[in-house]
Amino acid sequence: MRTLLGGDLSPLDLRVGERFTGARARTLHTAIGEAARTISGMPARYMTYPNGGPVLPCVLRTPRRMGTSAEALDLDAATLWSWGELRVPRHLWQALGRFSCWVEPALITEWMRLMRAYAARQDRALDPGILSSAMTWAEPTRDVALPRSLALQLLDRGDTLHCVWSGKRLEASTLDIDHCLPWTVWACGDLWNLIPAHRTVNQHAKRDRLPADALLQAARAPIQRWWAAAYSQGELLPRRFSEEARASLPGLVGDAGVLARPDDVFAAVSLQRLRLRHDQQVAEWDG
């Protein structure tokens, strides 16, 4: 699909909150429809409990067709719901979240074993190197270019910008964009998770540790001031901020098209911090 949409796109361009127009919008509309039909006709259909009944109940819908070439396709909750829904049992979802760092390598190892067994029954031998290369997972990459650009724009126009953790006044030379919940613990590059910090604090004090709850609560006001200054302007950034938060953080609900309230987003960040601390036993930083 990336080839069809254009080689200059990265997986991060297909994130919730993005907008597409023209040929890319129509191609993406078709690709999502094909993916929904494949999910409905394969795993959702054949994954059943021993006594019957689907593990992942699925409802497939037919969204309206794309209109003119100028029509935009927004990757928001309302648009994605128009293709249908797949329900994951709560206990399964929680287990996948807690053990995600082990689930992926286990699945890849089992799939490689299965492929070798199929090939052996056909008197074929699969090259281990080729098989391993084909199963290499495309790791997400850190991308802080947008929030850094927004921070520099604020500084250029004379606004003051402070480190959310230490309160130190920031200049272009001391500005770092920190992942509030560390990237090494949870590879999340959503806008709400990208905040300004002093380079020394980010690289030598906080590093890859979770902010302790007391520290996070103390930083509530500066974090929300940053969200307002950086992400509340225009049409696309507020919508992207809200859609990303609803897609990745626990407990955030709301009607389509209604922006999530900053207080609700911060409460969800606090809950996710607690989950990461409990599930992965991540070291904390108390400032």
The answer, yes or no, to whether residue 28 has pLDDT greater than 60, is: yes
The answer, yes or no, to whether residue 5 has pLDDT greater than 80, is: no
Q: Which of 224, 207, 228, 230 is nearest to 146 (CA)?
A: 230
86 burial type by CB count under 10 A (0-12 exposed, 13-18 middle, 19+ buried):
middle
Query: Out of 5-9, 47-51, 99-103, which region has the weakest mean confidence (pLDDT)?
Result: 5-9
The answer, yes or no, to whether residue 165 has pLDDT greater than 50, is: yes
> What separation in angstroms does the CA of 251 have from each of 53, 76, 183, 269?
28, 17, 21, 10
Average pLDDT of the chain to the nearest whole number = 87
Span 222-281, pLDDT tens digits: 999 999 999 998 878 898 899 899 888 988 877 666 888 999 999 999 999 998 898 888
SS3 per-residue string spanning the chain: CHHHHCCCCCHHHHCCCCEEEHHHHHHHHHHHHHHHHHHHHCHHHHCECCCCCECCCEEECCCCCCCCCCCEEECCHHHHHCCEEECCCHHHHHHHHHCHHHHHHHHHHHHHHHHHHHHHHCCCCCCHHHHHHHCCCCCCCCCCHHHHHHHHHHHHCCCCCECCCCCCECCCCCEEEEECCCCCCCCCCCHHHEEEEEHHHHHHHHCCCEECHHHHHHCHHHHHHHHHHHHCCCCHHHHHHHHHHHHHCCCCCCCCCCCCCHHHHHHHHHHHHHHHHHHHCCCEECC
**Dihedral sign, Cα of residue 93, residue 94, residue 99, residue 100:** positive
Span 60-109, pLDDT tens digits: 998 888 876 667 888 877 888 899 999 999 888 878 877 777 787 888 88
More confident residue, 223 or 137: 223
Query: Out of 17-31, 44-58, 158-172, 202-216, which region has the weakest mean confidence (pLDDT)?
Result: 17-31
> What residues have CB less than 8 Å from 7, skipping those under 6 apart?
none
Q: Which of 127, 83, 97, 120 is nearest to 188 (CA)?
A: 97
Q: Is the pTM for the entire model greater than 0.85?
A: no
Give the number of other CB atoms < 10 A from CB of residue 211: 24
Query: Which residues, listed in sequence order, are joined to residue 86 by a DSSP beta bridge?
Result: 58
At residue 139 the predicted structure's pLDDT band, cuts being 50, 70 and 90, is low
What does the radius of gyration of the chain's CA atoms come to, in whole angstroms?
22
Please state, in angstroms and rounded to a whole number, the distance separating the CA atoms of residues 172 and 73: 36
The answer, yes or no, to whether residue 1 has pLDDT greater than 50, is: no
Span 178-233, pLDDT tens digits: 999 999 888 899 999 999 999 999 999 999 999 999 999 999 999 999 999 999 98
**pLDDT given at position 103:** 82
Percent over 70 (pLDDT), the chain: 91
Please state, in angstroms and rounded to a whole number, the distance separating the CA atoms of residues 232 and 242: 10
Query: Out of 26-30, 54-58, 171-175, which region has the weakest mean confidence (pLDDT)?
Result: 26-30
**pLDDT given at position 2:** 47
Q: Which of 216, 151, 156, 155 is nearest to 177 (CA)?
A: 151
